Structure 1
Amino acid sequence: MATLRFFAGAAEAARAETATVDASTIGELRTELGVRYGSEFMRVLGLCSLLVNGARASDDAVTLAPTDTVDVLPPFAGG
């Protein structure tokens, strides 16, 4: 199972900082997260970047291995 790490607003929406999910692609991951966390989380997820082992994964066809780490990063602001 891939390990997920939620940051900032994504962690608040999921009410968790980490989770595991059994998905073979980013598209399957998004579907599973919608089922698990609901529509408000999906709204937040739509604003987030996904990084698989540190590399941006914007295409739903990106494959996931059980040993992968996926970071869910909302947009950051600052100065």
Structure 2
Amino acid sequence: MAVGTMRYWAAAKAAAGRAEEPYDAETLAEALAQARVRHPGELSLVLSRCSFLIDGDPVGARGHETVRLAEGGTVEVLPPFAGG
């Protein structure tokens, strides 16, 4: 297992009630499952619409179960942004 930081932005931050928290997971899928358990309710819906950066690299369309997390890494949780 890797220990790192999950950072929430915008609507994800509001739904989680915090800006960041630790994760202890091997994959992005595991880290997101932990977040859903810690913050039941709106966060689960928000996460389904989010994009993710792992240590600055976009996850894109890769399956979250295939995205490995590094020790000391950072997961950025980015909801869709409005704008023009």
TM over 0.5: yes
- Partner of residue 20, structure 1: 22
- Partner of residue 59, structure 1: 63
Please give the per-residue CA displacement for 1:2-60, whole angstroms capped at 9, x wherever unaligned: 11111000000000001111011011112111111113111000010011011112421
Aligned-partner residue type, residue 67 of structure 1? G
With structure 1 as the length reference, what TM-score do the two structures score? 0.92
Aligned-partner residue type, residue 58 of structure 2? R
| Aligned pairs for 1:3-14 within 5 A | 3-14=5-16
Aligned-partner residue type, residue 76 of structure 2? D
Unaligned runs of 5+ in 2: none
* Aligned counterpart for 1:40 among listed residues 18, 39, 42: 42
Give the whole-Å Cα distance in 1 for the aligned partners of 2:79 and 2:49: 6
- Identity between Structure 1 and Structure 2 (%): 41
- Partner of residue 71, structure 1: 76
Unaligned runs of 5+ in 1: none
Aligned-partner residue type, residue 64 of structure 1? L
Give the whole-Å Cα distance in 1 for the aligned partners of 2:52 and 2:34: 15
Instruction: Please provide the CA RMSD for this pair.
Output: 1.0
Aligned positions, number: 79
Aligned-partner residue type, residue 35 of structure 1? V
